[in-house]
Structure 1
Amino acid sequence: MAFFGTKDYDRTFFSELVKDKGQGTYNSDIKYFDSQLGPETAGLAQGYDAVCIFVNDNASRPVVEKLHECGVKLILLRCAGFNNVDLQAAKECGITVLRVPAYSPYAVAEHAMAILQEANRRLHKAYTKVKDNNFALSGLLGLDLHNKVAGIMGTGKIGQCMARICKGYGMTVLGWDAYPNQALVDEGLLTYVSKEELLKRADLISLHCPLIMGDNGTYHLINDETIALMKDTVMLVNTSRGPIIDPEALIRALKQGKFHAVALDVYEGEDNNVYTDKSDVAITNDITARLQMFPQLVLTSHQAFFTREALQAIAVVTMENARNFNEGNELGSAECKA
């Protein structure tokens, strides 16, 4: 297995799983590469059966075709999303694509609430002020979440966890999903409403949708029109996929005084920044630089998944996927198809 975009924590969790060989083990060998997968690095996969990639790797058609030339039969995604893989190209090349459908929904939902509250209560500003011996409260006014309305857009496993957190704060929870889950209604967790009603009523909107392109998809689900439906004091948090929000529409709204708080762990245009240290260089990404102008907005760098429990689960499921492919077992919901 050629493992791209390797970090120290990847080696920690994956190497432990493949150190043994023989019956009952994963019977795999991993070659770790620090570089991300892309057109310039795909050739590193020559002679490997599989590649293992993450959200910021490039598995576009030219890359997939190069992997095919190298003899790769399997793309293992150590994440749930697969929008960075050209599934049609993989199908044509006879390459199977497997993902981690779920690891720790708690990790993502807890991070969503953490950064939402950071933005709401201006904790990032408060920390900096106190470090500068400024103990004044100006610029730090927040809102109670208790008795407010939470709108959960996407009620899968992560959305359900976020709904329970919001319920614990004493919020009324509304849900919107292409496939409503009646069990959540029956237990009294949330009430499903139309997208328009949720946008109009919610004081807090949390995005947990997959990124789906095309008509009736979720690409730029949050845009000029949908933002216009929201309350001026709304709080918005995104820990799903960046392109669900149109960044230009978001910036226009922020300039006009919309939003009490915005918290983004993902945003469109983040790819060249994610998991890199640019502390000694100027930020040239226009979207990143403009988002950082707004005092009510908090950015984190695609870290919602980043807990010990989630990393362990990702490693185990990824290697189970590899074993299932290798042994001809049922692939189940892990398989991504065009």
Structure 2
Amino acid sequence: MGFDAFLGNPTAISRLRRKLREGRFPHALIFSGPESIGKHTCALMVAKALNCLKDGPDDFCDQCSSCRKINSGVHPDVRSISVENEATQIKIAQIRAVLHMLELQPFEGRNKVFIIDPADWLNAEAANALLKGLEEPPENTFFILIAVNVHELSLTVRSRCQIYQFAPLTLAEMRQHGITDELVLRWSRGSIGRARSLDIAQLKRERQMVLNLLEDSVDAKEDTFQTLLGISAELGRAKQDFEDRMAILAILIADTVYVKEGVPGKLVNIDLSDRLTKLADRTTVHELIRMAEFLRFVESSLKSNVNRQMLTDVLVLTGSNILNGLS
């Protein structure tokens, strides 16, 4: 077991193990990269290596009481800090609790490890409070901040951490994990977590609805707007559904660009190549790129908690106008 069980990102793993082996492991790290590609798993592996009772200094046994407690989430010296309940931020009270723990000696391990995930969800007050711990950490204390986009963290926080960039797994690495369905492989986009949780039947149902909407938008005339707005009401009903369907729409648009540009090997939706080809024949690359740019605006707006229903209505109307050359 140990770090050898971690597939992908060999450069990051090698660098971490070297730091552990040399006894100069940094007290504050950032693991940055796309969601569900193993960053949190790697952080727990580091915590086990720092506290393993058998192996070391650059590996862990995964069998001793310390490793087992970390695996079960009950080790008193390894804490994960995340958003609470339905919150969209990590708040200052959570970080103050961490700072209080810095004053205490480890309860039973050699080292205390705090994993903040997602660190790019720290609000401004929490991030400022965290700086105190990052600037003067006790000798036996380590912080691992996990972020999708390292640039979402303040420059001051970043300057006090060593940054480790994690990349999505390759298709070959995904297959080593036992993922063989081609559609699952492509939709997971290098994320083993996403691949294992993907409900392919549900995805196909959602994709069918979104593709129908996209095709209708391409062909939309004035009398179809009420139909499109009716669909938008359904899209805007639940936050997670809305975000998932926007992600599906973005991938369908990207696939249509790939068809248009003659690079079908990059398609995610390989089983929809015929429909995407017809869609590509009825649009221009310029129109598709404008739609993709607008979807990036939607994604940014979602992070700012803009009303989803209003956003969807704007998306439908603006998307139809773009595809019909009216804006």
**Greater strand content:** 1
TM-score by length of 1: 0.31
| Greater C-alpha Rg | 2
TM-score by length of 2: 0.32
**Greater helix content:** 2
